[in-house]
Chain A
Amino acid sequence: MQDRNNRHYTRREFLRNLSLTAAAGASLPLLSSCSKEETEDFLQKHFREMTPEEKKRVIAKLEERYQQKYGKKFQISTQAAVPDTFWAYGLELSRCIGCRRCVYACVKENNQSRHDPQLQWIRVLRLKRGNLINLENSEHYYNPDLVPEKGFIYLPVQCQQCQEPPCVKVCPVHATWQEPDGIVVVDYNWCIGCRYCIAACPYKGRVFNWAEPNIPKEEINPSVHYLGNRPRMKCAVEKCTFCIQRVRNGRYPACVEACPTGTRKFGNLLDPNSEMRYIIDRKRVFRLKEDLGTEPKFYYFFES
């Protein structure tokens, strides 16, 4: 008792207490003017700090909300990474014909906004043959009658799931992180929409919900993962998650299944019998912009 009375307050402590009081005072009327639901959303914890019960409560809330909005029963998974898995992707450049089937399969599987804003996680670049890696001269609005066109090659680019992800480093609120199986995910509720990660990504792997997403009700995919393809909201950043909702159940990503030429490969780097290990052992592989030190887990390769 004696101690506290005699305690000498520094100027810094005084200022800190003052700002805390002010913040509490300002937020009280703000919160009281919100509905109960909005307050709950505002106070929702970061996904990695939630207890299993809290996760269950959040899932129940989201399922109810999606049911109202899209008229479908959703299954929202929070499945954690499978032990002994580290995912990687392979793409055979000598086979890609640039047909964009993967782009639209991804849009459908992952509930991306169809228009205003139109968001796509895969971007297929067209490059002059012999001009590979000169990405500045690439074109992704190409629209010929038939593909492949003579004299061009096609280079699909999506999130490269870097092992040293620059997007994760720059996030000021830790709303994006790398999971133990190597997938970089976003907690859409925790994201503040500052778009630092979009600026930091050298592959243009992330897109932003500039407006409330537009998804036709009949096309919605109700089998979702909390960190993956659940419907997003305005002001959330999103990106490829290697179809986290599929691969954690041992199923190939949607783009792999959609490719008509078998260009796209997927596998576990820790499994010596996986397709990815075969490719890395036996094919000529390269990764995009290796000099940046981002260590992507997305391997392009050639027929050899």
Chain B
Amino acid sequence: MRVFCAAVTSLFLLFFFASSLPAIVEEYTPPPMTEGMYPCSNCHASMEVNRKKRELKEEHTDIKLHHAESMRWCLDCHNANNRDKLRLYNGDLINFTESYRLCGECHGYQYKDWRAGIHGKRVGYFAGPGKRVYYLCASCHNPHDPKFKPLKPEPPPHRPKEDHDARSEQ
């Protein structure tokens, strides 16, 4: 009886404290999809599966694979029978929102760092009740061409003379 009472009390306490804790919202950025492409099954469900490595001439012409392309083709990551899913090496199917698990299969060190918040990017709140927002791998890297593209830098600071000249012109 005593054991039972203790169990009930501890359960009650657990629920009491759990409900009083502020709910922390963790959110991943949505996977970047080309407008109107998803769900892929809209087109692919009625198409025959073609596993041949080839140049895509009719659709997806914007995709140029530069990601170990000599060893890889579409269906190594995209699932052949259900195109709305990605496929892990062991055959498990995952949603596009979980794509980091697929990336992590090859890029283990980066995956480990990403989970700790070191590789990649987090924005929003890191403490308190605010929303935590984590960027997916694909938010920064194009999965078909993951290397970062060079950027135009923001303008350099004024040299002291420029500031002085601007003032004397006024």
Contacts and interface: CB of A to CB of B under 8 A. Distances in A.
Interface string A239-271: 000000000011110001101111001111000
A118 B157 contact: yes
Contact of A116 (B122, B130, B151, B163): B163
Given A97-B148, A144-B153, A146-B150, A259 B124 contact: no
B150 A117 contact: no
A278 interface: yes
Interface stretch (A17-25, A98-106, A227-235, A288-296): A98-106
Count class of interface residues, chain B: 20 to 34
A141 interface: yes
A143 B158 CA distance: 12
Given A252-B126, A262-B120, A99 B140 contact: no
A142 interface: yes
Contact of A252 (B123, B154, B163): B123
A243 to B, nearest CB: 12
B140 A262 contact: yes
A101 B153 CA distance: 8
Contact of B140 (A100, A117, A260): A260
A143 B128 contact: no
A256 B163 CA distance: 28
Contacts of B152: 99, 145-147
Contacts, number: 97
B125 to A, nearest CB: 5
A250 B121 contact: no
**A contact face: mostly helix, strand, loop, or mixed:** loop
B124 A262 contact: no
A278 B154 contact: no
A251 B126 contact: yes
A104 B156 contact: no
A180 interface: no
Contacts of A92: 118
B126 A98 contact: no
B126 A250 contact: yes
B116 to A, nearest CB: 5
Contact of A118 (B121, B153, B158): B158
A217 B155 CA distance: 22
Contact of A100 (B135, B154, B167): B154
A33 B111 CA distance: 67
Which 8 pairs from chain A and chain B are nearest by CB?
A250-B127, A250-B128, A100-B154, A262-B121, A146-B150, A257-B123, A275-B117, A141-B156
23 contacts: A97-B150, A97-B151, A98-B153, A99-B151, A99-B153, A100-B154, A103-B157, A115-B163, A118-B158, A142-B153, A146-B152, A147-B150, A211-B167, A249-B125, A250-B127, A250-B128, A251-B130, A252-B126, A257-B123, A257-B124, A262-B119, A262-B121, A275-B126
Given A249-B125, A251-B126, A275-B116, 6 more contacts: A99-B152, A104-B154, A115-B166, A117-B163, A252-B122, A257-B123
